[in-house]
Structure 1
């Protein structure tokens, strides 16, 4: 029997950006970040906030984030860092 070597490679582009929290509602579980580069506002989910070790985001807070594309094709903020 022949041996087959199969390797799966994952390719992911990472776009790091900065912005200001436009608004965030912890009880609703989401909000938006206004991008510093003037592009459209970026959706941020409570799961990304909690993963960053934060409980909430405050209006006007400066954030560094990665733009991530979900399975639905929509872009959101992830890997958040308060700056």
Structure 2
């Protein structure tokens, strides 16, 4: 995975998205494939995640600062959210201002995340 920096934000692009644009014979494609396969995911657990606002923080298991996570980078089936304390794997990207942020967030097995319990998706006024 690599990032394309724009003035507004950093967008992560997965290798599968790149190969559709670059011919298979391209040496750039080979370089991207090697980088993608060599980048290790970081393990951590969700410190907190605000379902209504769509963001939160992940604490890496190996220590260090908490990492910002936005719902757009979560690998989930359906509604993208994280449960507090949930174990996850993720890549670390740097945004245009030099701040670390999570990318390609998956469950501990590389699949979908567990996500927040369904009842927290709505405010109390929607409960019956």
Q: TM-score, normalised by structure 2?
A: 0.51
Q: Which has the higher helix share?
A: 2
Structure 2 gaps, min length 5: 1-27, 109-128
Pick one of 94, 102, 113 that aligns with 1:69: 94
> 1:15 offset after TM fit, Å?
4.9
- Greater relative contact order (Cα < 8 A, sep 6+): 1
State the SS of the aligned residue for 1:58: coil
Q: TM-score, normalised by structure 1?
A: 0.75
* Change over 3 Å in CA distance of 1:14–1:71 after alignment to 2: farther
| Root-mean-square deviation over aligned CA pairs | 2.2
> 1:29 offset after TM fit, Å?
1.5
> 1:14 offset after TM fit, Å?
3.9
Q: Which has the higher strand share?
A: 1
